[in-house]
Amino acid sequence: MNSFLLIYLVTVYLIASIPFSLVLAKIISGIDVRQFGDGNPGAANAWHYGGKIAGTLGCILDISKGSLPVFLAKKYWPNSDSVLFLTGVIAVLGHAWPIYLNFNGGKSLAITAGVFLSLFDNLLVIYWMVLLAVFSFLTIPFAEGVIITLIVATIHTFILYKSWYLRFTVLIIALIVACKHRVTLSNLCFNNASLISKIKKQYNSWSKNRTKV
Burial of 52 (0-12, 13-18, 19+ CB in 10 A): exposed
Structural contact between residues 11 and 23, judged by C-beta atoms closer than 8 angstroms: no
Choose among 34, 51, 30, 55: nearest CA to 43.
Answer: 55
Question: Which tens digit of pLDDT belongs to each residue from 38-91?
Answer: 788 888 888 888 889 999 999 999 999 999 999 999 999 988 899 999 999 999
Question: Which tens digit of pLDDT belongs to each residue from 94-112?
Answer: 999 999 999 999 899 999 9
Q: How many CB atoms lie within 10 A of CB 205?
A: 10
Residue 200: CA count within 13 A, CB half-sphere: 7
Q: For residue 140, what is the DSSP state?
A: -
Choose among 176, 30, 7, 14: nearest CA to 92.
Answer: 176
- Work out the pLDDT band at 139, boundaries 50, 70, 90: confident
Mean pLDDT within 107-123: 91
Q: Provide the whole-model pTM.
A: 0.86
Choose among 52, 54, 72: nearest CA to 62.
Answer: 54
The overall average pLDDT reported for the chain is 87
**Domain range summary for the chain, segments of one domain joined by +:** 3-180
pLDDT score recorded for residue 40: 87
Q: Name the CA radius of gyration of the chain, rounded.
A: 19
Distance CA 61, CA 59 (A): 5
Structural contact between residues 188 and 194, judged by C-beta atoms closer than 8 angstroms: yes
